[in-house]
Every structure is written in C-alpha cells, then in structure tokens.
Amino acid sequence: MKKNESPFKLAVLISGEGSNLQAIIDAIDAGELNASVEVVISNKASANGLNRAKQAGITAVVVAPVKGRTREEYDQCLLETLAPFTPDLIVLAGFMRILSADFVHAFADKIINIHPSLLPAYKGMDTHQRVLDAGEPYHGATVHFVTEKLDDGEIIIQSRIKIRPDDDAESLQKRVHVEEHVIYPRAIQWLTTRKQDLVN
C-alpha cells in the first residue's frame, strides 16, 4: 500500500450472524483487503454480528425500527447515523431490510449486496429450496450494486457451485456461504482498486 493511499472506508449493515462481516474483517487483518470497517449497523439489537464488530474494535450501532415509522423515516435515521463516518462504500451483509429510493440515491453506486443465487435468476427469498425444486444443476452467490429494484443492479462477481444429488436446502446454504466469504472481500478489494485508478 502506498503511503498516501488511505484505506477504503466501509460501513457494514447487518441483521444477524455477521459471517460475511467476519470474512471482511479477516481479509483486512490478513492484508488481503485495503479497507477499514468504520462502523457496523444493525436493525436488530440481538444480531451476533454486533459482537463480532465489538471484538474487532469496530464501532457497533443499533438503529432499530420504531412502530409507526415509515421506511423513509427509518432510512433517514440510518443516513444520519452513517454521516459522521463518511463511508466510501455501504456493504449490505445480511441486512434484512429493503432500502428506500432516497437512501439508494444518497449513496448512488456506493452500495453493494451479496445475494445467494446466480443473479438475475432467483431474486428474493428461499433461493436454496427454489433452486432445488427447479432441478437446477448449479447454484451460487452474486455480489452486485444496489438499485431501487430488489436484487437488481450491475453484477460485480459471482461464484458457482455444482449441486450434488444429496444436497438439501441446508447443505446448499452452507456451501454457498463458503463461496460468499471468498467473493465478498474480493469484490470490495476490486472496488478499492477501481477507486484508486479513478483518483490517479
């Protein structure tokens, strides 16, 4: 890393276990990813990913939904929480909320998500079972830019695995998770390189 090259600042949004967050933290610690996680935000106080963040010395914040508050009002609170951290990239890592158009526009081309399917196929939920029910030969994961449309946006990277005869939804989910932990840090590193090229 060049002396004048500062780490790519990430804000990671989670709702649960935070295994992809951990993969990102591990890649940074291993020197494989020139980035720093500035803040981890969860919409659920019970999310284990918050503990992962705290153990890594990362600021962990809960922005919980309030009954009667609209999605737009929630996202405005999210924007206000993010503002002091000035992130270069918003990383959705199992964040189980659909972002409003205002939020997406505020971070245009700066929000990425990982989805457990080979997009554009199998958008939405329950992808592992749906792939099995359809008799697909392959499954996988996709990192993509976030737009106003669900599981849409430019594809950054994909990883494909062959479905085994004995796979069920649970085994397939575990195998896809392994691929996610490889390609998410790789996608972010590619974006840090792209940004540096634009600056130079």
DSSP string, 31-76: TS--EEEEEEEES-TT-HHHHHHHHTT-EEEE----TT--HHHHHH
Residue at 111 is within a domain: yes
Return the H-helix or E-strand segment holding 11.
strand 8-14
The whole-number pLDDT of residue 198 equals: 40
Residue at 123 is within a domain: no
pLDDT at 194 over 80: no
Report the predicted TM-score, pTM, of the whole model to 2 decimal places. Answer: 0.93
Residue at 168 is within a domain: no
Which domain covers residue 73, as residue numbers?
Answer: 8-115+142-162+176-199
Residue at 130 is within a domain: no
Return the H-helix or E-strand segment holding 80.
helix 71-82
HSE of 171 in the Cβ direction (CA atoms, 13 Å)? Answer: 9
pLDDT at 64 over 70: yes
Confidence bin at 7 (pLDDT 50/70/90)? confident
pLDDT in tens, 94-128: 999 999 999 999 999 999 999 999 999 999 999 99
Residue at 181 is within a domain: yes
Give the percent of the chain with pLDDT over 90: 91
CATH code at position 52: 3.40.50.170
Residues catalogued as catalytic = 115
The whole-number pLDDT of residue 143 equals: 98
Structure tokens at 106: 């505020």
Mean pLDDT for the stretch of residues 60-76: 94
Number of domains in the chain: 1
Residue at 92 is within a domain: yes
- In the block, tokens 């993010």 appear at 82
Residue at 105 is within a domain: yes
Q: What is the mean pLDDT of the chain?
A: 93
